Amino acid sequence: MTLDDAQNAPHTRMHSVSEETRRIVDQVLDYSRRRMLADDTPLDHAATAADLKRIAGTTINEDGIGASRTLAVFEHVLAPACITTDHPQFLSFIPSAPSKAAVAFDLVVSASALYGGSWLEGAGVVHAENEVLAWLAAEFGLPLGAGGVFVQGGTIGNLSALVAAREHARVRLAERDAPDGRWIVVCSAEAHSSIASAARVMDIDLALVPVGDDGVLRAPGVRTALEEHGDRVIAVVATTGSTNFGVVDDVAGIAELKDEHDFWLHIDGAYGLTAMLSPLTRGLYAGVERADSLIVDPHKWMFAPYDACALIYRDPETGRRAHTQHAEYLDTLTEADDWSPSDYAVQLTRRPRGLPLWFSLATYGAGVYREAIGHSITLAREIADEIDRRPGLTLVRDPQLSVVVFERDGWERADYNRWSDRLLADQQAFVVPSSHRGRPNARFAIISPLTTFEQLTAILDTMA
């Protein structure tokens, strides 16, 4: 069989470099360029399953429908049925606002056939990811040698850290009688749902510590839980920026308890730990430097594309001891002293998801990141002041970071729902209602450096 024959054979069609391949690549890159450089991408909105089935038609069949038609279905039917998460007026949940450099380099990561699970197969990309992790560890005050891995998201990051904490507890107690009862993780009653999810997966219990009206987890409540549960406690989880309010727990006070009790301190900083990079809020994070593990999600407030969570251990060996997988076909990896990212979390196969952040940080520099993060913090304070000034609106809490929660006096849940639906239908903003202790409210989660005070006040105007 000649080379031409091989390139035209059915079994090599998807992988050969041919005229068809060149057209596909050109079409995909053209769309990607237009999307990345567009400054007027609409918010868009969801569609019903019936509408999508009717409009998109059948796209999977025996012969294929071709790249041009497939891309057209995506661009004109499927993509508009997804809300644009990097839109400056996407203000619900915790948005995403990846930098242009990070998005562009994500194409390179996929195009380069890179595997990021082991040093043997991906030494170059692992080196780059580790540079980012080391920089983050230093910013958070962890000692030289701290490190970890980029995983899919905060849920996997928290789970992996708590698995390492349990293994650490087992080793620590190996020469003593095992504690009676089930393992326990101590956390705030307002901790992120991923902590409860991790507990279910690990088949362990939570000791939920009540918090006051400000939502802050403090040392006295943690001390009570530690004294009650003793050696059954494998970890205390402190939150540095809760999803609903952006509340930072009293990490300094909780960390001081390590002088009295032997416990693993994990920091869930998926959203809010990023604000430690800004001089405006760095003072809120005293005590983080004593963490045994922490997470922060670059796809939230560090301007990386989905999906990336940085999981960092004070002593990476504790993560490796808990997570290294052993099998005959893996012996060549596990018997080496190389740094293999798959040894540090609940995963084996992984793409080097930290590379887009590395490229963006290396391109723009850390100073630009600090400025962009500071913009969101400042804007949150400004719009909170504006809400305080407006009759009929009530600020629920003063913002610590970039989440602003407020109420429209006299509104019930149905009023918020109608208002939210109208904003999206008018393509003005995506602001879904939230609630706190049974009371409905509205919430701005400000992440994008392109979000402006004028955009936010225009949204407030619609509540009049």
Secondary structure of residue 393 in the 3-state scheme: strand
CA angle 71, 92, 380 (to 5 degrees): 125
pLDDT of residue 408: 98
Structure token digits, residue 244:
């609903």
Residues of the chain scoring pLDDT < 70: 1-7, 175, 327-335
pLDDT of residue 92: 96
Single-letter code of the amino acid located at 361:
L
Q: Do domains 114-363 and 366-461 have the same CATH topology?
A: no
Query: Could you tell me which residues come within 8 angstroms of residue 243 by beta carbon, excluding any fewer than 6 positions away?
Result: 93, 94, 192, 270, 271, 403
Query: Could you tell me which residues come within 8 angstroms of residue 446 by beta carbon, excluding any fewer than 6 positions away?
Result: 91, 376, 379, 380, 383, 402, 403, 404, 456
User: How is the chain split into domains, by residue range?
Assistant: 1-30, 42-81, 114-363, 366-461
pLDDT of residue 108: 97
Topology given in CATH for the domain delimited by 114-363? Aspartate Aminotransferase; domain 2 (3.40.640)
pLDDT of residue 306: 96
> How far apart are the C-alpha atoms of 302 and 462, rounded to whole Å?
30
The residue assigned the tokens 């701005």 is 444
- Residue 16 φ/ψ, nearest 5 degrees: -80, 150
pLDDT of residue 444: 98
Single-letter code of the amino acid located at 46:
A
- Cis, bond preceding 307 (omega within 30 deg of 0): yes
> How far apart are the C-alpha atoms of 37 and 262, rounded to whole Å?
52
Would strands 147-151 and 309-313 be described as parallel, antiparallel, or unpaired?
A: antiparallel
Structure token digits, residue 458:
């225009």
> How far apart are the C-alpha atoms of 337 and 118, rounded to whole Å?
11
pLDDT of residue 180: 78
- Residue 181 φ/ψ, nearest 5 degrees: 95, -175
The residue assigned the tokens 């399953």 is 49
* DSSP-derived secondary structure for 36-91: HH-S---------HHHHHHHH-----SS---HHHHHHHIIIIIGGGS--TTSTTB-
pTM of the entire structure?
0.95
What distance, in Å, lies between the first and last C-alpha atoms of the chain?
A: 75
Kindly tell me the burial class for residue 193, based on how many C-beta atoms sit within 10 Å of its own C-beta (0-12, 13-18, 19 or more). exposed
Q: Domain 366-461 class?
A: alpha beta
- The answer to whether 11 touches 1, Cβ cutoff 8 Å, is no
pLDDT of residue 327: 63
pLDDT of residue 181: 85
